[in-house]
Amino acid sequence: MKTIAIVNMQDYNPGLHILSTFSAGEDQLTNADLCRRNFDELISELSLQKVGEVYHSFEEGGYTAVVCLTESHVSIHTWPEHKLATFDVFLSNFEKDNSEKVRAFFNRTIALFNGTVISKQEIFR
Amino acid sequence: MKTIAIVNMQDYNPGLHILSTFSAGEDQLTNADLCRRNFDELISELSLQKVGEVYHSFEEGGYTAVVCLTESHVSIHTWPEHKLATFDVFLSNFEKDNSEKVRAFFNRTIALFNGTVISKQEIFR
């Protein structure tokens, strides 16, 4: 019984979740269309599969977005009044280990946004 | 200059994010419509504001969902083959502290899903 339990734990290995806060310029934090183009480019580059998305712009200037992937999700919530965004990437490991894709999505996003990382946490779920 | 920096940090207080894994029955982990009804009930109960959502069911039986709120987001990814789900609630503190609503959303979801919490992390972002 114990062996089976261990095997089950190894089978269930949902993946790496990066949670971060980064600073960026006003255009990056108010232009939801630019964010969508950046995310779509990365989803294509990394061969991820999008199953739906929500991009919502606030009157105050910021936006909030979630992108649902077969591999899990990406989210961003921007605070242009503070030049900051909270940004998450979580990819499950169904069929293969996607940890390097999580890190690549994170690093490429920061580069595309010309951002500066304020905080970053890697959580293996 | 230092005082201004501290004030900015206090102003930027995006909120509590709960990340969890819970176990539940097959119906709860395969029935995306039931999940949507549960989440919509909680969004209404807690006076949150939904701006969009994605619910996607997989052929294998699980589903993945993200709900975009003006207050940030909720996500769930189910693994019925392991009787598990990864579940996140993140509400920003724009205008008021929503930490208790995060905990209420989390606890009420576990109750509505008749779930058992396997792991839970509270991250103040």
Distance CA A124, CA B5 (A): 32
Report the C-alpha gap between B46 and B27 in whole angstroms. Answer: 25
The tokens for B35 are 């999940």
Which CATH code is given to the segment(s) B13-124? 3.60.90.10
pLDDT score, position A11 = 65
CB contact, 8 Å: B3 with chain A? Answer: no
Are B64 and A70 in contact (CB < 8 Å)?
A: yes
pLDDT in tens, A37-95: 999 999 999 999 999 999 999 998 999 999 999 999 999 999 999 999 999 999 998 77
Helices (H), chain B: 2-11, 26-30, 32-45, 99-112
Q: Does B83 touch chain A (CB under 8 A)?
A: no
How do the domains of chain A map onto residue ranges? Answer: 16-117
Low-confidence ranges of chain B (pLDDT < 70): 1-11
| Orientation of helix A32-45 relative to helix A99-112, angle to 10° | 140
- The neighbour count for residue A7, using CB atoms within 10 Å, is 10
Mutate to test the interface with A, among B51, B81, B119 (most CBs of A within 10 A): B51
DSSP label at residue A7 = H
Asked whether the beta carbons of residue B72 and residue A86 sit closer than 8 angstroms, the reply is yes
Is residue A3 scored above 60 in pLDDT? Answer: no
Place of tokens 């207080």: B13
Q: How many angstroms separate the CA of residue B56 from the nearest CA in chain A?
A: 7
Q: HSE-up of B49 (CA within 13 Å, CB side)?
A: 8
Mean pLDDT on A97-119:
96
The Cα diameter of chain B in Å comes to: 57
Q: Using a CB-CB distance cutoff of 8 angstroms, which residues of chain A are in contact with residue B68?
A: 54, 56, 64-66
A96's CB contacts (< 8 A; 6+ apart) are none
What is the per-residue pLDDT for B95? 77
> What is the C-alpha to C-alpha distance for residues A99 and A124, in angstroms, rounded to an integer?
9
Res A1: pLDDT = 40
- The span from the CA of B96 to the CA of B105, in Å, is 16
In tens, the pLDDT along B28-53 reads 999 999 999 999 999 999 999 999 99
CB atoms within 10 A of CB A69: 26
B23 part of contact set with chain A, CB < 8 Å: no
Q: What is the CB-side half-sphere exposure of residue B111 using CA atoms within 13 A?
A: 8
Question: Residue B34: what residue type?
Answer: L
* Chain B nearest CA to A103, separation (Å): 19
Q: Is residue A20 over pLDDT 60?
A: yes
* Structural domain A16-117, CATH architecture: 4-Layer Sandwich (3.60)
Q: In whole angstroms, give the CA distance from residue A94 to residue B52.
A: 26
Tell whether B58 is within 8 A of chain A (Cβ).
yes
Check whether A32 has a pLDDT greater than 60.
Answer: yes
Predicted confidence at residue B22, as pLDDT, reads 97
Give me the DSSP letters along A71-87: TEEEEEEEEGGGTEEEE
